[in-house]
Chain A
Amino acid sequence: MTGRVVAALARLLAGGYVRWDAPPPNGEPRVYFANHTSHLDFVLLWSYLPPSQRRRTRPVAARDYWEKGPLRRYFINRVFCGLLIDRSGPDARGAVDRMAEQVAAGDSLILFPEGTRGTGDRIAPFKAGLFHLCEAEPDVELVPVSLENLNRVLPKGELIPVPMVSRVIFRPTLRLEDGETKETFLARARTALKALREDGR
């Protein structure tokens, strides 16, 4: 119930244009990965998934941010069923194992491979986590999701979002190819998100 309200609000505030180049979710676990500029990124992406899929699609979120304060804890745990991970420190590798466990159990994930929010001017190089996750679960389908304009809705460092029409584009799926190196794969995944402006509005 809360989930539906949050999804509707997110779409009213920041929604507008959504396009599915990827086939719609069929219940098989998937990893959605997107460019990251705003706290609203995963909320809007999640709100455009079919309601039946939302409960089984867990955003991977940074523990250091989301465990601060009861409100953040409530939303990430109760509403979004987030998978909290440690961004740095000794457990960073353990994070990939936990993601792989979720995928093996049949859940989908939402991931931001840049590791942190950018300004929206460019997409930062990807962290290795996406590659290691695919090594552990080679069959999982990856869905690149291009998010546009969310850095204007709620930029880094601001508290109050401003309504704005944004674009969410689910791009054709990809997988880790046999024998693909880490560098080639991460570069390919990152390129799949780009071309933000090229496909006519």
Chain B
Amino acid sequence: MIEDRELLWLLTGLAGTLALATAAGQTLRLSVGGDTIANVNARIGAWWVMSIAFVAATLTGGIGSLVLFALLSMLALREFVTLSPTGRGDHRALAWSFFVVIPLQYVLVGIHWYGLFSILIPVYGFLFIATRIVLSGETEGFLERTATIQWGLMACVYCVSYAPALMLLDIDGYDASSGKLLLFLVVVVQSSDVLQFVWGKLIGRRRIAPTVSPNKTWEGFVGGVACATLVGTGLWWATPFNPWQAAAMSFVIAIAGFAGGLVMSAIKRDRGVKDFGSLLPGHGGVLDRIDSLLFAAPIFFHLTRFFF
């Protein structure tokens, strides 16, 4: 079914890693137990579901990924807006954002219109949202409401759409449309998250940003970023990069991912919540899971597009 050898190896590796994690999680449950282990096992269970959905979408070619990421954008924006100070006057602007801007952005990615998809939201969306909101006549908190919706669109839609956009890159001697590059990004960014969590739980002591996220430590950060860079380097054969380039890319992805996680944590802290949602058992909401991808995807896309 899958003709691409490298893709097959990637998927086998992914399934193997998850199987290993499941085995380790069940062993820990029987030998140690406790809430942390139960939470870890819930996360592993959700990882299976997310991986299967993601791989199934990627294997259908471009369309499946576009639909999946468009849906993720909607769910993420939904969680973002829920915690935002929007009011009655913003209802129409939000309806436009969900049902016109999101589909349009992904259609533009799908038809490979790079010139427009890279400016739709930062330029036209930016101006349109402000205009649509001012037409409602509600001026109280105008800038705050407008900026929040613009920010939500940038983070949850614009940034996320760069992930499936990787499939339309034109790289000499490399077939990006198979989804391997997308898989590479998602594996590195998510393994960086997981490994930071694991290192932090094991040896984490010194908090890196105590006022923002008490669970993030220097030990977790260094260990996680280093290991994720190793994971990415080990996958160089599935990318257009040589091992050194793959290492550099993975490092950048992991750092950007960390920044994304931290920024989204600050928003949650400001709103007084722990998670954006509760859709994914153990993980929180969709936005909690893709916060690191938000920042990593556009940077990885542009670096690859510029250098390869």
Majority secondary structure of chain A interface residues (helix, strand, loop or mixed): loop
- The minimal Cβ–Cβ distance linking B277 to chain A, given in whole angstroms, is 6
Which A-chain residue is minimally distant from B74 (CB atoms)? A163
Determine the chain A residues whose CB is within 8 A of the CB of B81 once the complex forms: 162-164
Residues of chain B at interface, number, CB under 8 A: 21
A171 at the interface (CB under 8 A from B): no
A162-B273 in contact given A149-B82, A152-B86 (Cβ < 8 Å): no
Cβ–Cβ contact B82 & A164, under 8 A? yes
Cβ–Cβ contact A162 & B279, under 8 A? no
B244 at the interface (CB under 8 A from A): no
Cβ–Cβ contact B88 & A155, under 8 A? yes
- The minimal Cβ–Cβ distance linking B294 to chain A, given in whole angstroms, is 18
A160-B99 in contact given A16-B277, A16-B278, A17-B278 (Cβ < 8 Å): yes
B202 at the interface (CB under 8 A from A): no
Which A-chain residue is minimally distant from B273 (CB atoms)? A201
Determine the chain A residues whose CB is within 8 A of the CB of B285 once the complex forms: 165
Assembled-state Cα–Cα distance A17/B92 (Å): 25
B290 at the interface (CB under 8 A from A): no
A199 at the interface (CB under 8 A from B): no
Determine the chain A residues whose CB is within 8 A of the CB of B91 once the complex forms: 152, 155, 158, 162
Assembled-state Cα–Cα distance A160/B100 (Å): 12
- The minimal Cβ–Cβ distance linking B290 to chain A, given in whole angstroms, is 16
Which A-chain residue is minimally distant from B97 (CB atoms)? A162
- The minimal Cβ–Cβ distance linking B207 to chain A, given in whole angstroms, is 24
Which B-chain residue is minimally distant from A164 (CB atoms)? B82
B211-253 vs A, CB cutoff 8 Å, 1 = contact: the mask equals 0000000000000000000000000000000000000000000
Determine the chain B residues whose CB is within 8 A of the CB of A163 once the complex forms: 74-75, 77-78, 81, 98
Which A-chain residue is minimally distant from B272 (CB atoms)? A201
Cβ–Cβ contact A162 & B278, under 8 A? no
A165-B78 in contact given A16-B277, A201-B273 (Cβ < 8 Å): yes
- The minimal Cβ–Cβ distance linking A144 to chain B, given in whole angstroms, is 22
Assembled-state Cα–Cα distance A2/B46 (Å): 28
Assembled-state Cα–Cα distance A25/B98 (Å): 35
Assembled-state Cα–Cα distance A126/B148 (Å): 36
Which B-chain residue is minimally distant from A161 (CB atoms)? B95
Determine the chain A residues whose CB is within 8 A of the CB of B79 once the complex forms: 165
- The minimal Cβ–Cβ distance linking B74 to chain A, given in whole angstroms, is 6
Cβ < 8 Å to B, chain A residues 130-175? 149, 152, 155, 158, 160-166
Determine the chain A residues whose CB is within 8 A of the CB of B277 once the complex forms: 16, 165
Determine the chain B residues whose CB is within 8 A of the CB of A160 once the complex forms: 95, 99
B94 at the interface (CB under 8 A from A): yes
Cβ–Cβ contact B88 & A162, under 8 A? no
Determine the chain A residues whose CB is within 8 A of the CB of B272 once the complex forms: 201
- The minimal Cβ–Cβ distance linking A153 to chain B, given in whole angstroms, is 9
Most buried by A among B92, B95, B272, B273: B95
A164-B78 in contact given A16-B278, A155-B91, A158-B91 (Cβ < 8 Å): yes
Which B-chain residue is minimally distant from A12 (CB atoms)? B75
Assembled-state Cα–Cα distance A166/B277 (Å): 10
Determine the chain A residues whose CB is within 8 A of the CB of B273 once the complex forms: 201
Which B-chain residue is minimally distant from A156 (CB atoms)? B88
- The minimal Cβ–Cβ distance linking B178 to chain A, given in whole angstroms, is 30
A187-201 vs B, CB cutoff 8 Å, 1 = contact: the mask equals 000000000000001
Assembled-state Cα–Cα distance A16/B94 (Å): 19
Assembled-state Cα–Cα distance A101/B121 (Å): 56
Determine the chain B residues whose CB is within 8 A of the CB of A16 once the complex forms: 82, 277-279
Which A-chain residue is minimally distant from B78 (CB atoms)? A163
Cβ < 8 Å to A, chain B residues 97-113? 98-99
Assembled-state Cα–Cα distance A40/B95 (Å): 16
Q: Which residues of A contact B (CB under 8 A)?
A: 16-17, 149, 152, 155, 158, 160-166, 201
**3 closest residue pairs by CB, A with B:** A163-B78, A165-B82, A162-B94
Q: List 9 A-B contacts (CB under 8 A).
A: A16-B279, A152-B86, A162-B91, A162-B98, A163-B77, A163-B81, A164-B82, A165-B79, A201-B273
Extra A-B contacts (5), CB below 8 Å, given A163-B78, A165-B82: A16-B82, A16-B279, A17-B278, A163-B77, A201-B272
